[in-house]
């Protein structure tokens, strides 16, 4: 049985092993695959593993041996799942692997905004401290989080993880989710309507999926309902935010700062308005990427394929 990995580099740049897949078949790993190379590289393989390389209906037509497509991510919109279902091709994803890493990263964005650690470290290396007339200096307001309110939009596993870390720093937590679990309120969080969360939160963290109902949910209208000087965090999906609206709010000071690990089009385009917005911290979609998280992802991906081969498939998204 032939197994092809189309874009293995981001999942495994060399610090993990493909041994789990090698034990299940004849494995070929490509670091990256261009659009025109996809069908040729799949060839007569039965198993296709992809992260962001798209698998279209046309590709499936050209590669009739495909029986299984494993996506090395939670999101699986890179695969035409309906076309796969019609061809009896199973498509699996990795539903949970980076909960702790992504929650941790949301707080890392927040702490960088509060203290500008990277900036001040660089200034020390440039000699400003040794040549400073006072015994310390700071270039931005430094923010203490204890007593402030974090609003978490999307209170699933990652949202709850971010909330627990925020609570450990003395923050109060408001949560908004379409599906409420009363047990979570026993942890000291309180569910609120979206309008209340927007109005009362000092920090707003986005941890919700991208649906038609959530696309562009952070926009001129919702920002207007927020506190002056609010901080917005997003390491969920870039399209949750209307980027021009956020850029304008940052420029006016309505939004004090934004910490973003995702943008609407990735990699980011040079004309993205957030690149020139003040106090906007942007990282290249790396919340998920600690080695521990990627190792977990790899283990689950191997388990998904093994379960499929044993006739008891799991994490199938196109039943």
Nearest to 258 by CA among 204, 215, 216: 204
φ/ψ of 165, rounded to 5, equals -65, -40
Contact 207, 154 (CB under 8 A): yes
H or E stretch covering 92: strand 90-92
Residue 266 annotated as catalytic? yes
Catalytic residue among 37, 61, 185, 266: 266
Residue 102 neighbours by CB under 8 Å, 6+ apart:
158, 161, 207, 235, 287, 288
Q: Which of 237, 243, 294, 296 is catalytic?
A: 237
Number of Cβ within a 10 Å radius of residue 173: 27
Within 10 angstroms of residue 138's Cβ, the number of other Cβ atoms is 11
Is 285 an annotated catalytic residue? yes
Confirm if 195 and 168 have CB atoms less than 8 A apart.
no
Instruction: Centre a 10 Å sphere on the Cβ of residue 109 and count the other Cβ atoms it contains.
Output: 24
Q: Active-site residue numbers?
A: 237, 266, 285
């Amino acid at each position: 049985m032939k197994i092809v990995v189309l874009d293995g580099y981001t999942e495994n740049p060399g610090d993990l092993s493909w041994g789990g897949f090698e034990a299940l078949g004849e494995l070929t790993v490509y670091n990256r695959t261009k659009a025109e190379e996809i069908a040729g590289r799949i060839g007569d393989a039965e198993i296709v593993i992809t992260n962001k390389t798209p698998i279209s209906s046309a590709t499936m037509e050209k590669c009739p041996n495909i029986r299984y497509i494993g996506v090395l991510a939670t999101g699986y919109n890179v695969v035409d799942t309906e076309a796969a279902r019609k061809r009896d091709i199973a498509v699996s994803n990795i539903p949970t692997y980076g909960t702790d890493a992504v929650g941790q990263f949301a707080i890392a964005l927040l702490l960088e905004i509060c203290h500008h650690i990277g900036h001040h470290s660089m200034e020390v290396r440039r000699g400003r401290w040794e040549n400073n007339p006072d015994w310390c200096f700071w270039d931005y307001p430094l923010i203490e989080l204890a007593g402030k309110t974090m609003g978490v939009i999307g209170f699933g596993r990652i949202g709850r993880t971010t909330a627990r870390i925020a609570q450990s720093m003395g923050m109060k937590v408001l949560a908004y989710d379409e599906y409420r679990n009363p047990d979570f309120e026993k942890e000291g969080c309180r569910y609120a309507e979206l309008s209340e969360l927007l109005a009362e939160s000092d920090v707003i963290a986005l941890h919700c999926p991208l649906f038609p109902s959530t696309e562009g949910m952070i926009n001129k209208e919702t920002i207007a309902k927020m506190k002056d000087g609010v901080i917005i965090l997003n390491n969920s999906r870039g399209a949750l935010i209307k980027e021009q609206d956020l850029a304008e709010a940052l420029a006016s000071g309505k939004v004090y700062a934004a910490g973003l690990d995702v943008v609407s089009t990735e990699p980011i385009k040079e004309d993205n308005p957030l690149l020139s917005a003040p106090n906007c911290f942007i990282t290249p979609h790396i919340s998920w990427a600690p080695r521990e998280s990627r190792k977990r992802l790899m283990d689950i991906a191997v388990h998904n394929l093994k379960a499929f081969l044993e006739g008891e498939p799991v994490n199938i998204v196109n039943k």
